[in-house]
Structure 1
Amino acid sequence: MDEIETLRDLDAALASGTSLRGLRIQDLDLTGHEGQLLARSDLEGIVVLGGRLSPELGEHLRLHGALVFPTDPHAPVNAYRASLYQPHELYAGLDSSGYESTPDARAYHWAKDADLHHDAFVTLLRAIHDDSVTDALGEFLGGSPVVGVMGGHALKRDSEAYAGAARLGHRLASAGLVVATGGGPGAMEAANLGALCPSPEAVTEALGRLARIPSFHPSIRDWAQIALDTYDEIVRIPLSDNGVRSVGIPTWFYGHEPPNVFCNGIAKYFSNALREDGLLARSTAGLVILHGAAGTVQEIFQSITPLYYAEEDRALPPLVLVGVDHWSRDVPVWHAIEALGRDRGLGRAVHLVDDVDEAADIVLGHA
């Protein structure tokens, strides 16, 4: 079965002279190909996921054994999308109508309303959406080495800790790693920001601009608008490698956390469980855990489980907690990690350090 995600791929399939049976056509405007498709009868097993097609073509496809998945014109997002989100896409309409009018805010309310009213069709579309995003994320990252950076959403842009997280992200990305975060504000935004910036000077300049709106409280609109303006300035500067440096993986499960924009691509999910598992599983080059609270603690122990059960002779990626006092006193999870790692490979993979430079040294030394 071939996945057809671009019109170029569809043109090639139509011109190949081979049967179209079994194709998966995802999120394409078929109006320019209707004549060719109406002339074909070898359509059994084709699956058409969303996109645009006339009622006539839809009927023709179904009569010849194809399966056409419907769209929902009321849905604020495309359930069958074949690519990751881009920052301006999620925040469309922000400058004219405010945050509540954006696709990002509307998607959260759409999902919440469906849960309240037990709408099975919306639940199905959300599941298809998340599977499509997972597929797009895998294609986007390819075989690139990924380092996950976790941390709390409350970190303010004008703090030294935020600047430190940005420097960490920049150093990791400049060494050839893709920096992946939970895609939210605070420490996550800082790491994505640093990774996206092409130079230390760009990091410093961006930090100065963003500090004028240190938090998304009380106004998500102001917080996001200055970020979008800063993002536009950053991406105007060409990179030598033109590669992926920064990815955000947020969720609409946390409706109070707007997504940060400093990413080459944003994989936003309705399911927090799928989002968490995808983020941690893709962090093949290691994990760095900055200050955080309940959500970050959940990520720590979720990442520890596969390390705990890993085969003893397997080389494990590092898991580095930053902040000795924070993780041993304020949120004392380190003692449990130490106990779990005793006499296991986990014990060699976990580290507790006091600053981001030490964390970067460990990750880059392993890579």
Structure 2
Amino acid sequence: MRRSRGRVVDVDTTVELVRRVAAGNTSLAGWRLRGLDLTRHSATLASCHTGGALFLGCRFATGDEARVRGEGALVFPDLPNSPVDDYRTSLYTARELYGTATYRESLDGRAFAWSKRRQSRDSALAKALHDHAIDGALATWVAGRDIVGVMGGHALERGSVEYTDAARLGHLLGTTHIVATGGGPGAMEAANLGARLATGPLSTVEEALTGLAAVPSFRPSIDAWAAATFDVVDAHPEPTETLGVPTWHYGHEPPNVFATAIAKYFGNATREAVLLQVCNRGIVFLTGAGGTVQEIFQDACENYYADDSSVAPMVLVGRDYWTRTLPAWPLLQSLADGRVMEPHVHLVDTLDEAAALFTTP
């Protein structure tokens, strides 16, 4: 059982339910009971007033569900066929998503396959409830943490100069901040890797990069790609915290293993908005394509209308890339002109310049 703010009490086991009721509690108002098998606890429920309680994915004995509803409780059913826990209270770990089977049989693989089936009302509700639960778990996780985002392309292969650079940036930023990414492969994986190993020397990251380069991409085998990352994880059992926020919308891109906490969403629009929102200390944008450009201007929109107390720095890395290859910088600069965001928008050439904007007092 966990208390949260106010009168809300989270109860995740029947043992805790029975213990609390036995201690003299006669009202469940403000309680959230999650995933409980209550079929043998009719007497416990009957001894309490259940109005104001929230039952999430619980099972009842015959007649009990109707009774608690009649007393004013809210009951959300355990939706059939959903492969995920729609009422979970914590973020995912890589081990939970991948398990020990093949990727196709893993929780992540099964959730992606399920999400692509023809949508019914039940599946749409399950996805919405799941993403709402992830919202709550993520809000709890980020509270009190200073988070810097690193955005960049998913297509970077291990062993490339760009992948190595992203890992080095994650290492630099991870010494002073929590690093958050979109949780996928490429630049996102590299930044999570560097941040995960931030308490060690850069040589530790370089050693990991050497091993990972043997499996440069998740194509053709996600299993081989993930196995190489778990080898690194197992070799460094005391990681620095780092966050990934991926989505099953891009389920063909598997989540990277190096994020210690994974907030995975079905809805990509929600995921994009939440990812930018949690980066309360700013975002570094590495070279990328459509997705990265979208994130630049979505973040720019937030800063454009923000007051001075809530503007977060935006740092674009690669002067030639962002002024010539994909000229996002001139438009961003024009948007920032005269706004409170103007001094917080930067274009730099090197990773050290980018990191210095966050690590220099």
The TM-score normalised by the length of structure 2 is 0.90
Number of the residue aligned with 2:92: 85
Q: Which amino acid aligns with 1:214?
A: P
State whether structure 2 residue 271 is matched by structure 1 residue 275: yes
Structure 1 segment 107-126 matched on structure 2, within 5 A: 107-115=111-119, 119-126=120-127
The 2-side partners of 1:357 and 1:24 are apart by 49
Q: Pick closer, same or farther for the CA change 1:178–1:41 going to 2, 3 Å.
A: same
Q: Is the 8 A contact 1:340 1:346 kept in 2?
A: no
**Structure 2 counterpart of 1:293:** 289
Give the match for residue 179 of structure 1.
179
Question: What's 2:193 paired with?
Answer: 193
- For 1:306, the aligned partner's letter is E
| Structure 1: tracts of 5 or more residues without a match | none
Structure 1 segment 193-272 matched on structure 2, within 5 A: 193-197=193-197, 198-200=199-201, 201-234=203-236, 236=237, 238=238, 245-272=241-268
Distance 2:158 2:139 in 1: 30
How far, CA to CA, are the matches of 2:104 and 2:166 in structure 1? 29
Choose from 334, 342, 347 the match for 1:339: 334
CA deviations 1:249-277 (Å, max 9, x no partner) are: 00111122110011121000011111111
Distance 1:52 1:190, change over 3 A: farther
Q: 1:318 to 1:231 in 2, by over 3 A?
A: same
Residue 148 of structure 1 aligns to which amino acid in structure 2?
G
Of residues 84-93 and 274-283 in structure 1, the stretch that sits farther from structure 2 once superposed is 84-93
Are positions 1:309 and 2:327 aligned together?
A: no
> Stretches of 4+ moved more than 2 A in 1?
5-39, 51-68, 313-317
Distance 1:182 1:9, change over 3 A: farther
Counterpart-to-counterpart distance in 2, 1:14 and 1:161 = 58
Checking the alignment, whether the CA contact within 8 Å between 2:49 and 2:71 is kept in structure 1 is yes
State the distance in 1 between where 2:22 and 2:314 align.
Answer: 50
Deviates more, 1:20-29 or 1:3-12: 3-12
Check the 8 A contact 1:41/1:64 in 2, yes or no. Answer: no
**Amino acid across the alignment from 2:244:** G
Deviation, structure 1 residue 92: 2.1
The CA distance in 2 between the partners of 1:125 and 1:274, in whole Å, is: 15
Is the CA contact (8 Å cut-off) linking 1:13 and 1:20 kept in structure 2? Answer: no
TM-fit CA distance, 1:317: 2.2
User: Contact 2:233–2:258 at 8 Å: present in 1 too?
Assistant: yes
Partner in structure 1 of residue 4 of structure 2? none
Q: 1:160 and 1:120, CA in 2 relative to 1: closer, same or farther beyond 3 A?
A: same
Cα distance in 1 for residues equivalent to 2:207 and 2:64:
53
Gap regions ≥5 residues in structure 2: 1-6
Aligned residues of 2:34 and 2:56 also touching (Cα < 8 A): yes
Which residue number corresponds to residue 2 of structure 1? Answer: 8
Give the Cα separation in 1 of the matches to 2:129 and 2:263. Answer: 14
Structure 2 residue matching 1:25: 3-state secondary structure: strand
1:44 and 1:31, CA in 2 relative to 1: closer, same or farther beyond 3 A? closer
Over 3 Å counting, the alpha-carbon distance change for 1:297 and 1:167 in structure 2 is same
TM-score, normalised on structure 1? 0.88
Q: Secondary structure at the match of 2:75?
A: strand
1: CA distance between counterparts of 2:34 and 2:213?
39
* Cα drift, residue 12 of structure 1: 6.8
Contact kept in structure 1, 2:39 and 2:59, CA below 8 Å = no
**Structure 1 counterpart of 2:254, one-letter code:** P
Task: Confirm whether residue 76 of structure 1 aligns to residue 83 of structure 2.
Answer: yes
Q: Which range moves more in the overlay, 194-203 or 31-40? A: 31-40
Q: Distance in 1 between matches of 2:347 and 2:338?
A: 17
| C-alpha RMSD over aligned residues | 2.4
TM-fit CA distance, 1:53: 5.4
Identity among equivalent positions (%) equals 44
Q: Is the 8 A contact 2:18 2:44 kept in 1?
A: no
**What residue identity is the alignment partner of 2:157?**
K
Alpha-carbon distance in 1 for matches of 2:77, 2:348: 52
Q: 1:318, 1:49 → 2: CA distance?
A: 39
| Separation (CA, whole Å) in 2 of partners of 1:343 and 1:108 | 45
SS of the residue aligned with 1:185? Answer: coil
What residue is the counterpart of 1:159 in the other structure?
160
> How far is the alpha carbon of 1:16 from its aligned partner?
5.3
Shift of 1:310: 2.3
